[in-house]
Amino acid sequence: MYLSDLLKSFVTQSQKILGDNLTGIYLHGSAVMGCYNEKKSDIDLLVVVEEAIPNNIKYRFMDMVVALNTYAPPKGIEISIVKRGVCNSFVYPTPFELHFSIAHLEWYKTDPFDYIEKMKGTDKDLAAHFTIIYHRGKCLYGSDIKDVFGAVSKEDYFDSIWNDIEEAETEIMDNPTYIILNLCRVLAYKREELILSKQEGGKWGICNVPEKYRTLIVQALDEYLSDKSTEWDEKNAHEYAAYMTTQIRN
């Protein structure tokens, strides 16, 4: 299924399930930042509602998302539902009503009752998602972005993106492409307050990171934007992660 068709179906079915409680549906991530790769990107969605969602509605919504996810790219759909009241004025860490990604697919299929009971709480990642929506997101349905979302403070946004890479020195070889490019965009924000995609972060890094790490960044960009599989220089990757996290901390 084409991305546009999947999004249309998601919007239509969300309207039917959530009814008057639905404030809006917002697209963020690579699909709005010019670096969507069907084979390697997920589809990032945020749903805003007026009031808390009862469990019977959550079941209907999750069944819809799981069914649509079968037509999604390999990395699937990632979605969070939040109440309008936490969007403006922004609350951090941000409470959410429901979340789904393919990492949780088997949990829902195996024990939907347990999933619905436990899949709620707070999520620091939402500060980064809200920021992307506020500056570069797309409203697929409902109230305009600036009518729903307030600006996220610099401190909350930085804490959110730092939280994603603070263990980079030990974790970099678990997901090299993701961590290499994310380190670039976090440093770009720390130094210049730039809000960048992973691709844009990598391009910034090529121009602003010491030359001995540029090959690593170019490799990460090539793999991120293509079907390539890269042989990594593990020693250089660990040195890069140590250098970048030190620069970000300073």
- The pLDDT > 90 percentage for the chain reads 94
Across 27-54, average pLDDT: 95
CATH 3.30.460.10 fits 3-154, yes or no: yes
pLDDT, tens only, 145-176:
999 999 999 999 999 999 999 999 999 999 99
**CA dist., res. 41 & res. 54, Å (int):** 31
pTM equals 0.96
Across 216-240, average pLDDT: 94
- So what's the pLDDT on residue 145? 98
**CA dist., res. 116 & res. 162, Å (int):** 29
Across 112-125, average pLDDT: 98
Mean pLDDT, the chain, rounded, equals: 97
**CA dist., res. 19 & res. 82, Å (int):** 15
Q: What's the helix, strand, coil split of the chain in %, to 5?
A: 60, 15, 25
- Number of neighbouring beta carbons within 10 Å of residue 190: 16
Q: By the 8 A CB rule, do 129 and 28 touch?
A: yes
- So what's the pLDDT on residue 107? 98
Q: Which sequence spans correspond to the domains of the chain?
A: 3-154, 167-249
Across 89-109, average pLDDT: 97
Q: By the 8 A CB rule, do 25 and 11 touch?
A: yes
Confidence class for position 120, pLDDT limits 50, 70, 90: very high
Does 228 have pLDDT greater than 90?
no
